[in-house]
Amino acid sequence: MIFSVGSSLSALKAFGVKMGVSADNVANVETEGYKKRRAVFKEGPNNDVQVAVTQPETSGPVIAEVKNGQITEKELSNVDLAEEIPQAILTQSGFEANLKTLQAWSEMTGTVIDMFE
C-alpha cells in the first residue's frame, strides 16, 4: 500500500504541473506569437509519475495587418481552447481520483490504529 501512496503523491504533483501548463496556455490564448506547451506523463523508475513539459512545433494562424499604409503579417497564438478545456477537465478528474486514493489510505490507516488502541 505504501507504493500506491507514493505513486498517488507523485501523480498529484504531476497533475498540478499539467494544470499549470494548461492555465498558462489559456491565459495566453490571445498573446501574439505565444507557443502552447504540453505536459506529458511517463512512469518513473520507482513506479512514480514523472512529467515532461514539451512545446510542439506548430505555428499559429498568420494574419495581415495594415499599419501606416504598410501590410505586415503577424503570427497569433497556436493555443486552441477547444483542445485545452477538455484536457483541463481530464486533468481535474485525474487529480481528484488520486486524492481519493490518499483519503482512502488515510481512513484505512486510522482504522487499523484504532484497532490497536
Distance CA 23, CA 104 (A): 29
Distance CA 48, CA 76 (A): 37
Backbone angles phi, psi at 29, to 5 degrees: -60, -30
Domain boundaries, the chain: 2-115
CB atoms within 10 A of CB 61: 9
Q: What is the pLDDT of residue 45?
A: 86
Distance CA 22, CA 16 (A): 10
pLDDT (tens place) for every residue of the chain, 117 residues total: 455 677 888 999 999 999 999 999 999 999 999 999 999 999 988 888 999 999 998 899 999 988 888 998 999 999 999 999 999 999 999 999 989 988 888 787 776 666 666
Q: What is the pLDDT of residue 1?
A: 46
- For the whole model, what pTM was predicted? 0.78
Q: Which three cell numbers mark 82?
A: 477547444
Distance CA 62, CA 51 (A): 31
Q: What is the pLDDT of residue 3?
A: 56
Dihedral sign from CA coordinates of 78, 13, 99, 8: positive
Give 47's DSSP letter.
Answer: S
